[in-house]
Amino acid sequence: MNEKKVTYLEAISQAIREEMLRDEAVFILGEDVGAYGGAFKVSAGLLEEFGSERVIDTPMSEAAIIGSAIGSALMGMRPIAEMQFIDFITCGFDQIINMATKMYWRVGMPVPVVIRGPAGGGTKGGPFHSSSPEAWFFHTPGIKVVVPSTAYDAKGLLKAAIRDNNPVLYLEHKLLYRLPFLREELPAEDYIVPLGKAIIRREGEDMTILSYGAMVHQCLRAAQILEEDDDLEVEVMDLRCISPLDREAIQESVKRTNKVMIVHEDTLTGGIGSELSAILTEDLFEHLDGPITRVAAPDTPFPYAPELEAAYLPNSEKIVAAARELAAY
């Protein structure tokens, strides 16, 4: 293994460390982020390097973590609040929705908070350790939502999130943390990936698949199968940031391919796909050559049994099947 190549998780760690080095206002707080180095070891070594004033182990209260982060941000700090599992962000929901997102609107004071944590399933984590909570925040004005799918983006987007003056929810997919094929060599110099810019991961003319996070890789696998077996050229767009959405890039792609599928790991109803579908219908109705198709998890809580989890999660097989139907439409 080339030592220069880093995992998705290491890319996140690098971003935090580099930002803490760059800006003294940046600090991290959360459950076990200090002495233990974080449940997934994202913050391993930071306590030793930056000390307990900038790497703060907190009590087990998400409301307290997020609330103190907001308070410190109002006082000029740039906190990174870690949720041990993103599922527990619901305990801090009020602080985010009623405080963080509205503060600038109410009193004109920016809240440069990053709330981040491991999201998503596929790790046999059951109903409390597998969720994809983006839709709640996607719905809420005043907070940006970032969902990286590669190591490069994980680092560049986190740096951009930390430097952003708005609250940013940064969802890292725990399944991607140590995936060997996501290891890549990152630029030695400082870089960011701007928030709100999608990227085309694979070009194609027959349809566009819009996705984000871990599902991007399922989409790419599906696109490969569709090329080999069906001679279909599928374009895969990684949204990277779902709030704000890169409407321009989406329009540009769908105007070319005329068919669009949306894939996300979150449940179907009221998901990102619902809003994308509405936007596409409003903006591009007469460019559509088939129905906007969604592949998402069914509307149930996340299952625990491995067989059920496998059946529950969207995957390349489901994407291929839906794409074939859409192509034939």
Partner 1 sequence: MPTSVKMPRLGETVAEGTIGSWLKNEGDYVEVDESLAEIETDKINAELPSPVAGRLAKILVQSGATVTVGTDIALIEESADVSADTAAASSAPGPDAAPVKSDTQAAIPLLNEQDERNAATKPSSPAMNRHGEQKEEEERQRISPLARRLAREHGLDLNDITGTGTGGRVRKEDIMAYLEQRSSVATAPVQVPAVPAAVAVAPAPAYTAGEDEEVVTPSKMRLSIAEHMVRSKRTSPHATTVVEVDMTNIARWLQQHKDEFKQREGYGISFVPFVMKAVCEGIRKVPLINSTWTEDNRIIVKKRINLGVAVATDVGLVVPTIHGADQYTLAGLAKQIHAIAQRARVNKLTIQDMQGSTFVVNNPGVFGTIISVPIINQPHAGILSMDAVVKRPVVTEDDAIAIRSMMYLCLSFDHRVLDGAGAAGFLQAVRAKLQSYGREIDVY
Active site residues: 129
Four-CA torsion 61, 63, 65, 67, nearest 10 degrees: -150
- If binding is defined by CB under 8 A, does position 285 make contact with partner 1? yes
Distance CA 206, CA 210 (A): 13
Of 5 and 324, nearer to partner 1 (C-beta) is 324
Q: Is 142 left (phi over 0), alpha (psi -120 to 50) or beta?
A: left
- If binding is defined by CB under 8 A, does position 139 make contact with partner 1? no
Closest to 292 in 3D by CA, of 197, 209, 199, 206: 209
Stretches 8-16, 160-168, 186-194, 283-291: which one binds partner 1 (CB under 8 A)? 283-291
What is the per-residue binding string for partner 1 in 297-326, x denoting contact by CB under 8 A? ----------------------------xx
Q: Judged by CB under 8 A, which of 71, 126, 270, 290 binds partner 1?
A: 290
Of 70 and 326, nearer to partner 1 (C-beta) is 326
Q: Which residues contact 296 (CB under 8 A, 6 or more apart)?
A: 262, 263, 264, 265, 266, 267, 268, 271, 273, 314
Distance CA 177, CA 278 (A): 32
DSSP, residue by residue, 72-105:
HHHTT-EEEEEPSSGGGGGGGHHIIIIIITTHHH
- List the Cα angle 4/26/76 in 5-degree steps: 160
Q: Judged by CB under 8 A, which of 293, 297, 315, 320 binds partner 1?
A: 293
For 289, the 3-state DSSP assignment is coil
DSSP, residue by residue, 109-126:
-----EEEEEE--SSS--
Of 97 and 288, nearer to partner 1 (C-beta) is 288
Closest to 150 in 3D by CA, of 191, 123, 184: 184
H or E element at residue 310:
helix 306-312
The least CB distance from residue 162 to partner 1, in Å, is 41
What is the per-residue binding string for partner 1 in 245-274, x denoting contact by CB under 8 A? -------------x----------------
Stretches 148-156, 209-217, 267-275, 285-293: which one binds partner 1 (CB under 8 A)? 285-293
Of 71 and 291, nearer to partner 1 (C-beta) is 291
Stretches 143-151, 186-194, 286-294, 302-310: which one binds partner 1 (CB under 8 A)? 286-294
The least CB distance from residue 217 to partner 1, in Å, is 24
The least CB distance from residue 273 to partner 1, in Å, is 13
- If binding is defined by CB under 8 A, does position 231 make contact with partner 1? no
Q: Which residues bind partner 1 (CB under 8 A)?
A: 258, 285-293, 325-326, 328-329
